């Protein structure tokens, strides 16, 4: 249990933790949910039945319970060797992961306004672990950091420049930890260094984003100021016409209602009117459900359009990479998307695609394809654990 690493991921009403051993193998994961509500609860790993927590349990209280439970079950020592926190927004301040001190904490708090739903709870997670384990080194790993290499033409919106100067309105990009991991994994498979690797990385989970990586650097990405822009997602709309705001206001839809619906009732859920779950949508589409089919069609069309758009930023493409729950598991989505990219020379091998490239090291392209196409499992928690160990100098 020596050198156990703790990874903390605080959501608005949830707290996810993962424990890794010194060889970066996952020992356990735990999830507390419905925090600050009367129905707070937690579960260990894939356990079916959740354990009730006292009503209105806070993030800090939940963390104490999870740590206590992990210790009693012999999953971790009295304290971890280092702690890695997933932080959603690092603004323009953070280009890489950092050891947390008071100055860093203040700089993270200064980014709160850019991600009001996420950063304040991330900060709460840091405060809680600092209180519980005051002597343990803590590291912040930012979703935005990998995209700090975006060139100006890619990160500026065509807005009056004082929006950027005064309020930081620009494209930041998210899922950076996952896209950086895709770069590293693709380079390994292609047997080349990351510094000369250029890929398009499509992270398709409940949240979805796509990134163009040129010679190891993020040069364009679909998410923007917030994680709402770009691809169709589980419940998020992705791109819409900003003219929508005015029009819907004239129909009596308030800004707050629209914000909620764009984030929580749109995307696959909004289009299908049934679910945000791609697996269920695939089953429904197989049964001939037209709204499920429409949701999948819009999802794949937008994704294909974005793959094409990402090529503008590259001078070579070593691989198109699919990851995330949908990217790793949905042969249907990959097939339908790649079928729309025939003119650009992408072509899929149906047999290898059907088993997620299992027997070909993740390769699912056919020999006629101009570019390799890869399926790679993402593991953001493991990357965060690695960064925590590196910066705490445990390696
Ligand atoms: P994530 O947020 O990365 O866990 O991804 C969640 C999404 O992945 C959900 O839409 C799931 O339905 C989808 N997903 C997981 N497994 C499959 C599968 N076998 N086929 C299609 N979609 C899947």
Is there a single domain that holds both residue 15 and residue 111?
yes
Give Cα separations from 291 to 107, 208, 268, 297, 334 (angstroms). 45, 20, 10, 10, 19
- 203 inside domain: yes
Strand partners, 271: none
Cite the active site residues: 143
Nearest CA to ligand 1 atom 8: 325
Is there a single domain that holds both residue 244 and residue 325?
yes
Residue 203, marked binder:
yes
Residue 339, marked binder:
no
Tokens of 105: 């904490």
Residue 380, marked binder:
yes
Is there a single domain that holds both residue 202 and residue 275?
yes
Dist. CA 205 → ligand 1 center (Å): 6
Give the Cα separation of 277 and 233 in Å (integer).
Answer: 10
Give the closest residue to 245 by CA, choosing from 254, 233, 235.
254
Give the Cα separation of 104 and 109 in Å (integer).
Answer: 9
In the chain, how many domains are there? Answer: 2
Is there a single domain that holds both residue 137 and residue 230?
no
Is there a single domain that holds both residue 204 and residue 335?
yes
- 187 inside domain: no
Rg, C-alpha atoms of the chain = 21
| pLDDT given at position 391 | 96
Is there a single domain that holds both residue 106 and residue 208?
no
* pLDDT by 10s per residue, the chain, length 395: 678 999 999 988 899 999 999 888 999 999 999 999 999 999 999 888 899 999 999 999 999 999 999 999 999 889 999 999 999 999 999 999 999 999 999 999 999 988 888 899 999 999 999 999 999 999 999 999 999 999 999 999 999 999 999 999 999 999 999 999 999 999 999 999 999 999 999 999 999 999 999 999 999 999 999 999 999 999 999 999 999 999 999 999 999 999 999 999 999 999 999 999 999 999 999 999 999 999 999 999 999 999 999 999 999 999 999 999 999 999 999 999 999 999 999 999 999 999 999 989 999 999 999 999 999 999 999 999 999 999 999 87
C-beta separation of 233 from 206 below 8 A = yes
Phi and psi (nearest 5°) for 213? -115, 120
C-beta separation of 23 from 395 below 8 A = no
pLDDT digits (tens, 9 = 90+) for 181-209: 999 999 999 999 999 999 999 999 999 99
| pLDDT given at position 47 | 85
Q: Which atom of ligand 1 lies nearest, measured to the CA of 281?
A: 12
The HSE-up count of residue 30 (CA atoms within 13 Å, CB side) is: 25
Residue 276, marked binder:
no
- 29 inside domain: yes
What is the domain-level CATH number for residue 335?
A: 3.30.420.40
The HSE-up count of residue 200 (CA atoms within 13 Å, CB side) is: 24
| pLDDT given at position 11 | 85
Is there a single domain that holds both residue 40 and residue 104?
yes
| pLDDT given at position 209 | 98
Phi and psi (nearest 5°) for 230? 105, -125
- 167 inside domain: no
| pLDDT given at position 117 | 81
- 153 inside domain: no
Task: Give the 3-state secondary structure of residue 213.
Answer: strand
- 155 inside domain: no
Phi and psi (nearest 5°) for 73? -85, 5
Give the Cα separation of 380 and 390 in Å (integer).
Answer: 15
C-beta separation of 63 from 17 below 8 A = yes
Tokens of 360: 């070909």
Which residues' Cβ are closer than 6 Å to ligand 1? 205-206, 234, 277-279, 282, 324-326, 329-330
Give Cα separations from 212 to 176, 202, 217, 261, 386 (angstroms). 12, 9, 8, 29, 24
Q: Taking the model in full, what pTM does it have?
A: 0.95
Pocket test for ligand 1, best of 279, 303, 331 (most atoms within 8 A of CB): 279
| pLDDT given at position 24 | 87
Contacts of 386 (CB under 8 A, 6+ apart): 24
Q: Which atom of ligand 1 lies nearest, measured to the CA of 203?
A: 3
Pocket test for ligand 1, best of 232, 286, 330 (most atoms within 8 A of CB): 330
Dist. CA 197 → ligand 1 center (Å): 27
Nearest CA to ligand 1 atom 19: 329
Residue 230, marked binder:
no
Dist. CA 325 → ligand 1 center (Å): 4
Residues in the chain: 395
Pocket test for ligand 1, best of 329, 332, 358 (most atoms within 8 A of CB): 329
Neighbours of 151 (CB within 10 A): 13
Is there a single domain that holds both residue 131 and residue 219?
no
Is there a single domain that holds both residue 17 and residue 119?
yes
pLDDT digits (tens, 9 = 90+) for 108-120: 999 998 888 889 9
C-beta separation of 79 from 97 below 8 A = no
Is there a single domain that holds both residue 205 and residue 317?
yes
pLDDT digits (tens, 9 = 90+) for 10-64: 988 899 999 999 888 999 999 999 999 999 999 999 888 899 999 999 999 999 9
Range of the domain at 92: 5-142
Dist. CA 172 → ligand 1 center (Å): 25
DSSP state, residue 54:
-
| pLDDT given at position 1 | 65
- 177 inside domain: no
Give the closest residue to 364 by CA, choosing from 344, 392, 338, 395.
338
- 106 inside domain: yes
Give Cα separations from 385 to 80, 85, 99, 240, 255 (angstroms). 11, 9, 13, 36, 39
| pLDDT given at position 147 | 98
Dist. CA 255 → ligand 1 center (Å): 30
Q: Is the dihedral of CA 76, 78, 80, 86 positive or negative?
A: positive
Residue 382, marked binder:
no
DSSP state, residue 50:
P
Is there a single domain that holds both residue 237 and residue 299?
yes
Is there a single domain that holds both residue 125 and residue 9?
yes
Dist. CA 157 → ligand 1 center (Å): 32
Tokens of 335: 């097939």
């Amino acid at each position: 249990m020596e050198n156990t690493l703790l990874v903390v991921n605080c959501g608005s009403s949830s707290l996810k933790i993962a424990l890794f051993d010194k060889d970066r193998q996952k020992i356990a994961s735990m999830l507390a949910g419905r925090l600050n509500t009367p129905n707070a609860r937690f579960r260990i790993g894939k356990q079916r039945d959740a354990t009730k927590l006292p009503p209105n349990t806070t993030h800090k209280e939940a963390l104490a319970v999870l740590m206590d439970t992990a210790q009693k079950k012999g999953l971790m020592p009295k304290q971890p060797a280092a702690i890695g926190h997933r932080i959603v927004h690092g603004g323009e301040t953070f280009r890489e992961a950092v050891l947390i001190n008071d100055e860093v904490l203040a700089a993270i708090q200064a980014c709160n306004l850019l991600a009001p739903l996420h950063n304040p709870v991330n900060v709460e997670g840091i405060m809680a672990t600092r209180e519980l384990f005051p002597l343990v080194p803590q590291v912040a790993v930012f979703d935005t950091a990998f995209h700090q290499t975006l060139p100006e033409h890619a990160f500026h919106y065509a807005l009056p420049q004082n929006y950027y100067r005064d309020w930081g309105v620009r494209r930041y990009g998210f899922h950076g930890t996952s896209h950086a991991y895709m770069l590293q994994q693709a380079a390994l498979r292609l047997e080349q260094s990351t510094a000369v690797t250029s890929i398009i990385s499509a992270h398709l989970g409940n949240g979805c984003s796509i990134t163009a990586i040129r010679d190891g650097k993020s040069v364009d990405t679909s998410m923007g100021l917030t994680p709402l822009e770009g691809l169709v997602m589980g419940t998020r709309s992705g791109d819409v016409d900003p003219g929508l705001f005015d029009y819907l206001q004239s129909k009596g839809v308030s800004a707050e209602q629209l914000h909620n619906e764009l984030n929580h009732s749109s995307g696959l859920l909004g289009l299908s009117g049934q679910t945000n779950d791609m697996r269920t949508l695939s089953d429904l589409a197989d049964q001939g459900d037209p709204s499920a089919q429409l949701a999948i069609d819009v999802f794949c069309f937008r994704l294909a359009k974005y793959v094409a758009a990402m090529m503008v930023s590259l001078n070579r493409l070593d691989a198109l990479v699919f990851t995330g729950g949908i990217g790793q598991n949905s042969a249907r989505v990959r097939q339908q998307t790649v079928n729309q990219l025939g003119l650009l020379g992408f072509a899929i091998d149906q047999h290898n695609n059907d088993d997620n490239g299992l027997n070909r090291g993740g390769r699912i392209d056919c020999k006629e394809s101009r570019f390799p196409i890869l399926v790679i499992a993402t593991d953001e928690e493991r990357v965060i654990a690695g960064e925590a160990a590196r910066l705490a100098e445990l390696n």
